[in-house]
Chain A
C-alpha cells in the first residue's frame, strides 16, 4: 500500500489551515475548472498544484502515488476524447481529471481524519432537525476511511488462501469467503464500538 489517501504529517501552512477552509477551497477549485478549457491553462493549473504539493512538503513519489490508480482510466478516456473531439479536448479532460484528484488528495494528505470528521459533523449540524445525528455521520466517515486498508487486507488473505488451495482464479472461491469475512469483521467491529462506549 502506498500512502494513497492517508494523512502525511507536517506543519506547513496547508497542514495548519482549518479543514473547513480546505474543503471550501477544494469546492471552489472544482467549480473553477470550468474555465480550464485550453491545454495551456490546464498545464498552468497542474503546475500550480505541483507548487502546492511542494509547499506542503509532500515528496514527489507520494504525488505520483495519488494519480497512479487513475492511469488506465486516463488512457481510455484520453484515447476516446482524442478520437471524438481531438487532442485538445483529450488533454483538457485528462488534465482536469488529474488536477481534481491531486487537489482532493492534497486535502486528505494535509488533514487529519479527526479534523475532517469534526468539520463534516459541524456542517451536518443543521440536519439534526430532520432526525440525522451528525456524530453518527462523522463516525461513519472515520470508519469508512479505516475500513479501506482492512478490506484490502481481507481480500489479500482470501486470495492467498485461494491460491494455496489451488483454486485458481474462480470468482466464487474469492467472493464467498470475502463476503463471509467482511460480515464477520463488521460484527467484531460493532462489538468493539459498543465496548468503547459508542452507543452509550
Chain B
C-alpha cells in the first residue's frame, strides 16, 4: 500500500482544469488526508498548458512531491509535459473522445483511453468530462464515489439539485467505466488518525497571510491586483469588513503603499500586499516609512523576475530588494515565513515589529507558498499578540504642554521615541521624509543630521526576536542544507531522505533574514564543515548575505534554480550528494 498518492490533471487553460483539481483536492482533504496541491499555469486566459498536481498522504506534506501515479490528460501536450515524472506503471487517463494519446517507447506508463467527453454527453453536458475524470480517479485510488457527494453538493448546490445529480451521475459513470474496462489501481493509504485537539484545515500561504493580518490587528489593506498576491486581497475583502476594517483597491502600488503609510501614521495597523513589479514601485515609499519612522507592513509574494518576468512562476529573487531596496539607508525588518502556519503568525507579528521599531517590515513569501493549498492541523492562533510599541499618553502630553512634544527626540537611548496619534492634544508633529529635527521640522544642519541618523540606526542595534533560524535534524551533523522561506518543506524531506541513506545532515532555515540572526546562525553552523544553500534565484542572494553577515567562505556551496518551477525533492537530493561527496562524510 502506498503511503501517498500523486495525482495530476492537465489540459488547456480555460478547460476547467482548476475546478477538477479543486474538487479532487478538497474531497481528499475532507476524507482526512493531508493534501498539498500545486497549480502550474500561464499568464493567459485560454489555451497554453496548465496542470494541477495533488499529493495526498497519511502524514503532513509540505510540498507537492516529485512523482505522479495518475495523470488525467485532456490533450497530448499534457502527456508530453508530464509522463517523465510518473512512477513506473503509472496510469495516464486520456480523453479518447478527442484524441489518441502517444508516449515515448521507453516510458513505462499505462495509457488508458476513456471517452470522457462522450460519457459526459450521455449525462447531459460535455462540460462534465471533468466529473467523469474524477470518477475514473476515484476508481484507481479505490475511493467510494459517495465520498464525493458533499464536495459536489458544495460546488454545484447553488445551481440546483438537478445539476448536483447530473455531476454525481457523470462521476459514477466514469467510476464504473474504468472498473469495467481496466484493472489497474493505486489505492490511497488508510486515512490518518487525527490527534486530539487538532483541526484539519486546507489553507494557502495567501489565505494564511490574510488571516494573519486580520488576527494581527490590520484594519486597512490597500493593494493593487497582481499575480500571485491578489488572493490575499480576496481573502481580506471577504473577512476584514466583518471586523471593522476597510480594503482599498488602489490605482497603483505607489498609491497602495502610501495609503498604508497614511493609515499607520493615523494609528491604524495597515498593510499592502504585492509581488515583484509592485514591490519595485514601492521603493521610494519604503524610504518614507523608514525616514519618518512610520510603521509599515508590506507583503511581497515573490514571482519570477526581473520586470514582468514569469508572472505565474515562482522564485526567491527579491531578497536583495527587500533588504537593500530604496535609496539612502533605512532600518527595516525582513521576515521569510517557512510554512503556512508561519505565514499566519509572522504576518500578525509583522505589525508588532513595525510598531515597536517604527519601521517597515517586509514579509517575503512566494508564488509557491502563496498559491499552493495544503492541509494543516491548526493555526497558532494562541500565539498572536498585539504589542503597540511606544505611544505617548494623553496625560504625558498634557504635562508637556503645547509644542513641547519631540516626536523625533534624538536623545532616546534605544533610538525609539514614542509616537503620538493625530487627534491627541499637544501631540502635533510632522512625519516627514526630509531629514528633520526632534519636532519634525526639516533642517539640514550637520549636527541634527548626524544625531537623527544615529537615533534611527540604534533602533535595530540589539534586535532580538523569536524569528531567526530553525535547525532540524542531528545537531552534530557536519553537513547542512540551508534555505529560507517556502523551501522548508521540501528541504525537510530531502534531509530525511539523505539521513535514510546514511548521510548525517542537518537543515538550517531562515524565517528572518534581516536583521541577520547572526548569533543563532553561528550556533547552528558550529558542527558544520560543509553547507549547501538551496535558493530559487540566479545569483545566490542568501549565500551572499550569509557571507557578508557571517562569513563561511569556502564552506558553502549553492544549489540554485530559476526556471520558474518549484524545486523538487530529487533535485535537492542529487545536488546534496554531489556537493557532500557522499561516502567521505557518511
A, B bound: no
